[in-house]
Amino acid sequence: MQTHLSVIRSKPLLWLTTLIFCLSALTAEQRPNIVFIFSDDHAVQAIGAYGSKINQTPNIDRLAEEGTVFLNSFCANSICGPSRANILTGKHSHINGFRRNGERFDGTQTTFPKLLQQAGYQTALVGKWHLSSNPTGFDFWEVLPGQGSYYNPAFIQMDGSRQQFTGYCTDLITEKALKWLKEDRDPSKPFVLMAQHKAPHRNWSPALRHLSMFDGKDVPVPDTLFDDYSGRTPLLKENEMTLDRHFHWGHDAKFRGPSQHPEHFASRHRNGEYLRMNEEQKAAWDAQYEPENQALLAQLEAGELSKEDVVRWKYQRYIKDYLRTVAAVDDGVGSILDYLDEAGLADNTVVIYSSDQGFYLGEHGWYDKRWMFEESLKMPFLVRWPGVVKAGVKSEALIQNIDYAPTFLEIAGTPVPADIQGRSILPVLRNDSQATSDWRDAIYYAYYENASAHAVPIHDGVRSQNHKLMYFPRGRQWQLFDLVADPQELRSVHDDPQYARVFNVLKKRYEDLRTFYDVNTAVIPMTRGDEDWWRQRNQQVNQRVRGGDFDLAFIGDSITQGWENNGKSTWEKHYGDRKAVNLGFSGDRTEHVIWRLTRGNLKSLRPKVAVMMIGTNNTGHHMQAPDEVAAGVEKILEILQERTPDTKVLLLGIFPRGREQFDPYRANNTGINQYLRRLHDGERVHYMDISDAFLESDQTLSRDIMPDYLHLSREGYVRWAEAIEPKLKELGI
């Protein structure tokens, strides 16, 4: 009540409204409200309560003083849309279907706002959404289109129209959230309000009032600003998020006019935010940046700066802008907390501050996120719930964004659907925020957005209390980090004999967690567009099938692609004038074929017959279990059915491999084929096992047929063609 007293003394009118409000609030249901304040790319390194060395966040820190800070809070997929989908559904990306930015969230699926709404909660969402489809499950929403803008942003209204507002995005979102709280909601109902900021997302455009923050001061530089990436996978070097090489002239560094100094600055010279500003905003902006910019240019021209000096300058420009945008988020948190106090709502409202993923604040020389390293894997999670959550506590329990949905449902006293993958953290909260004895030992993480901005490869892994195991399908590399001995993750110990036990046990946990969360990579569409030759071949294929009229398509991996090499003369003889096309890509597994067929290869291709042989790389690359690979093949058949229903599929059993009969890879393929046989329906799908065409009488393979015991020789292709020829005729080719 102490806040009410101070309000009484200072503002009599406000006091009256507050009193009336409190009385009505008393008669309202007592189920707790939830205020979820969520920002974009706010790393824990930039939050006071997490021990920031570079800024202060007094308002966010209030949640820490009055509640709990979760130190080991992680995302499931370190990128915007996917993290939001994880939160809404309580499920990993491969289950909720939103794996990469740019996909479309299926808003018909069950989400926690829908369930809370059904349970009688009022639900509201303001700010960044970034899931393409319109929000579902909210009584009120007003969202930014896509990434939204910092200056004078547009918001999509519930009727689908767009309205532009003058002002600064973070402040507008706070104001809109407050307006809903104060004026628009039904005070007789409990509520959940999600206030979701764009800040501090790239391109880190501060509010005018914060422009001069940090003037005359340097922000401390992270230890690893000049990381040489040794001791870890070479994939790190492909990264396109360095301050050194990927910091853009206008967009990031805020220079005006055409790009200069390409030796230091990447070339994007358009600063979209500047173009949105009115004259007054531009004037304040220029007054801040221009003198600093001109000073740097003068130094560059005078040859006074080393390459490292310029990286340090870019770091200062970057980090100050980033932290300035954080300052407005922190102001917004303060305004909302103040209002909850004033309105007497604080005691019965759970307030959470979080952000969609972490971010690199110069660590490893980077900005951006995506990698499973600590800085971008971590999400802030501070929770205040007077009377339930112990105040001033720091928790080391491993929590993840898939836990939010079940937690919110449990807070509201609503049943948690059995298919939700996260766990409610309520038992942890009720246990003085410490992990209960049956709490989890590790979290599972998966990143899918390869072949896109910043060039981070697909990877997944597990993170336990003290270790992290990561797996990169490209190059099939493991990385293992000891987070106690090496908190900055600078040396992978995956092949260090001293860590053999840890490696083996974590690998087991990795496999078990993948089974537990139903991860079957054989069915999850994956591009290899980050490999140049693959991307080019795929573009060529897409072009060919668009222009052509094909009766026969061969779908598969290198063995199919080999029709263009060892199989060339046989192809010409058998298929040269039968309108045939080769959709074989060396190294492809079922998941890559799924990607290709759903994103271009089948756009206008409607063959009479498709000959398909796929799966031996699922075996060869990671001995994937036969039922999983077969599910991948089945999914491809479904795709064909859906997109080209009249095509007959000649599904071939995976060819034998390995010299000996008892080769483990061959045995795995045999295991897959047992399942594939069952996919034969004699109508659309025709299964054939032509192994006998390749095997000797003692079941071995000869080098004459398969020189490397996997790929076919010229003679091998002759045998393949002859073995299927009668069937092709029967199918009308």
Q: Which of 103, 321, 330, 356 binds Ca ion (CB under 5 A)?
A: 356
Residue type, 202: R
Our finding on whether 368 is near ligand SGN (CB under 6 A) is: yes
Per-residue 3-state assignment (H helix, E strand, C coil) for 694-732:
CECCCCCECCCCCCCCCCCCHHHHHHHHHHHHHHHHHCC
Strand extents, DSSP E, 335-491: 349-355, 381-384, 393-395, 399-400, 442-447, 459-464, 467-472, 477-482
Our finding on whether 80 is near Ca ion (CB under 5 A) is: yes
Q: How many residues bind Ca ion (CB under 5 A)?
A: 4
**Cβ atoms 411, 350 nearer than 8 A:** yes
Our finding on whether 87 is near Ca ion (CB under 5 A) is: no
- Rounded to whole angstroms, the Cα distance separating 238 from 366 reads 12
Our finding on whether 42 is near ligand SGN (CB under 6 A) is: no
Cβ closest to Ca ion, residue 39 vs residue 68 = 39
User: Among 653, 652, 649, 728, which residue's Cα sits nearest to residue 681?
Assistant: 649
- Rounded to whole angstroms, the Cα distance separating 81 from 538 reads 26
Q: Which of residues 247-306 bind ligand SGN (CB under 6 A)?
A: 251
Task: Give 446's DSSP letter.
Answer: E
Stretch of 355-363, 674-682, 693-701, 705-713 contacting Ca ion, by CB under 5 A = 355-363
Our finding on whether 321 is near ligand SGN (CB under 6 A) is: no
Considering only CA atoms, give the Rg of the chain. Answer: 29
**Cβ atoms 208, 281 nearer than 8 A:** yes
Residue 252 beta carbon to ligand SGN: minimum distance, rounded to whole angstroms: 8
Residue 197 beta carbon to ligand SGN: minimum distance, rounded to whole angstroms: 11
Stretch of 91-99, 201-209, 693-701, 720-728 contacting ligand SGN, by CB under 6 A = 201-209
Residues designated as active site: 558, 708, 711
Q: Which of 7, 35, 36, 41 binds Ca ion (CB under 5 A)?
A: 41
Stretch of 44-52, 180-188, 349-357, 522-530 contacting Ca ion, by CB under 5 A = 349-357
Stretch of 195-203, 517-525, 630-638, 715-723 contacting ligand SGN, by CB under 6 A = 195-203
Our finding on whether 40 is near Ca ion (CB under 5 A) is: yes
Residue 447 beta carbon to ligand SGN: minimum distance, rounded to whole angstroms: 11
Residue 268 beta carbon to ligand SGN: minimum distance, rounded to whole angstroms: 7
Q: Phi and psi at residue 349, in whole multiples of 5°? A: -125, 125
Q: What does the per-residue mask of binding to ligand SGN show for 63-92, with x meaning CB under 6 A?
A: ----------------xx------------
Cβ closest to Ca ion, residue 356 vs residue 403 = 356
Our finding on whether 317 is near ligand SGN (CB under 6 A) is: no
**Cβ atoms 460, 445 nearer than 8 A:** yes
Our finding on whether 454 is near ligand SGN (CB under 6 A) is: yes
Longest Cα–Cα distance in the chain: 99
**Cβ atoms 650, 689 nearer than 8 A:** no
Our finding on whether 528 is near ligand SGN (CB under 6 A) is: no
Contacts of 71 (CB under 8 A, 6+ apart): 50, 394, 395, 396
What is the DSSP pairing of strand 162-164 with strand 580-584? unpaired
Residue 204 beta carbon to ligand SGN: minimum distance, rounded to whole angstroms: 9
| Residue 502 binding target from ligand SGN, Ca ion, none, CB below 5 to 8 Å by type | none
Per-residue 3-state assignment (H helix, E strand, C coil) for 62-126:
HHHHHCEEECCEECCCCCHHHHHHHHHHCCCHHHHCCCCCCCCCCCCCCCHHHHHHHCCCEEEEE
> Which residues would be at the binding site for ligand SGN (CB under 6 A)?
40-41, 79-80, 101, 130, 147, 201-203, 251, 368, 453-454
> Which residues would be at the binding site for Ca ion (CB under 5 A)?
40-41, 80, 356
